[in-house]
Amino acid sequence: MTTAERIDWIFIDLTHLDGTLGNFVFPRIFGLTWLMYCAFYLCRKNFSVLMPFLKTEQGYTSDSLATVLFLYSAGYSIGQFLMGFLADRFGARIVVTLGAIGSAIASAATGSGFPLAISQGANGVLQAAGWPGVLKMSREWFPDANRGVIMAWWGTHLVAGGFIATNVAAAAASGGWMRAAWIPSLGLTAVAIVFAIFSKDRDTGQFRASGAVRIPLVLNPKLVAIATMYFFVKMTRYSFLFWLPLYMTERLGYSPIDAGYASSIYEVLGFAGVLLAGYVSEHATRGHRFPVGAVMMFGLAVLCALYPWMSRLGLMGNLTAIALIGAFTFGPDTLMAGSGTQEAVPVEAVARAGGFVNGVGSVGQVLSPFFVSFISSHFGWDALFFTLSGASVMGGLALSSQWRKR
């Protein structure tokens, strides 16, 4: 008996008897996939905390950091399509585990003398293993009933992961900035080992060999609308995730450590936005995801336009604005990339659909470093936030095209 078989026996998998959730597998997979994707942020979000130190300690400019972020984002975007295929073909457990361990190694190399562009480019590709894999595993094991609420609670790993990772990196950097590179790497490696031992692919062997990759991924209007919206929301989201600490140090006069802690508020109320989107779509709109996502994107546009003014109202005004922007970013983000994407394709193609949506969205992530650097350098930080407001409007219009679709 293999280690995995012993673990499955210990957890008493009863799904083959009655197909119900009266067993330990659903809560186990829920917890493991939530924790695993949360941990991926340890070696993703730490780079935003490292950026001010890389400028002051290593001599990087905003343009050179933008190049590094471009290579990371390009690797992440391309990797989504590859990892989605691999997760459908070989199963989520092995793809997610190997991606996480590889990402930890690449992130640990930051500041070690190894070329930053290479390490972060590789980190982007390896980070791409996370989303398609955990999305596929959640679709296999989570019940169909009340999916919007279940996926909302599950999707809080995006905001919790960013919040935890930012604070871990900021705390580590206070003892020496290079610690913000290797301490998160140790944490991600530890979680990956736990995930590898205790997680399980539901459809294995014959299913993957005979059916998974033969089901075509049909780019239907719903999936295209979600991917289009995701392009704009990820452009906005990663502009805040990576550049908000730098904005606060250069424009508001915060110290690098204080800016790192303050920027984590972006994820704190992002948590509330995720739950709000899930509950409203499940109960108020009876499973209609698109109207909820569209309204929240339009709300995000208003908040981005107001942020330059609110950020200068003092600490509380700045934190309030950051928190609200986080809620209206992560709400439609997790709703449409999670349950919205799962409902748009057959279960056999979920990993590839997740990879497609996140891959297209990550093109916005790829463009965001140069987008932010160019606009902030030539037109100022205020113009940047007004432009992000326009991007949010475009995302809302994309979802509005499918307003009546479930």
pLDDT confidence bin for 346, thresholds 50/70/90 = confident
365 vs 355: which has the higher pLDDT: 355
Give residue 235's pLDDT.
92
Burial of 9 (0-12, 13-18, 19+ CB in 10 A): exposed
pLDDT bracket for residue 127 (50, 70, 90): very high
- Alpha-carbon distance of 402 to 253, in angstroms, equals 43
Q: Pick the closest to residue 202 from 16, 389, 361, 352 (CA basis).
A: 16
Q: Given this model, what pLDDT does residue 119 score?
A: 92
**Per-residue model confidence (pLDDT) at position 231:** 96
What one-character DSSP code corresponds to residue 347?
A: G
The pTM of the full predicted model, rounded to 2 decimals, is: 0.80
With cut-offs at 50, 70 and 90, classify the pLDDT of residue 218: low
CB 288 within 8 A of CB 232: no
Q: What is the CA radius of gyration of the chain?
A: 20
Helix, strand, coil content of the chain in percent (nearest 5): 80, 0, 20
Measured in whole angstroms, the distance separating CA 382 from the mean position of its chain's CA atoms is 26
* Pair of tokens at residue 7: 């673990």
pLDDT reported for residue 14 = 33
Give residue 259's pLDDT band: very low, low, confident or very high (50, 70, 90). Answer: confident
All structural domains of the chain, each given as residue ranges with its CATH number in brackets, are: 3-400 (1.20.1250.20)
pLDDT at 242 over 50: yes
b/e code 97-123 from CB counts within 10 Å (16+ = b): bbbbbbbbbbbbbbbeeeebeebbbbb
Segment 356-378 shows an average pLDDT of 87
In this predicted structure, the answer to whether residue 11 has a pLDDT above a threshold of 80 is no
With a cut of 70, say whether residue 71 has pLDDT above it.
yes
Helices 179-198 and 25-40 pack at an angle, to 10 degrees, of 160
Instruction: Label residue 199 left, alpha or beta by phi (over 0 means left) and psi (-120 to 50 means alpha).
Output: beta
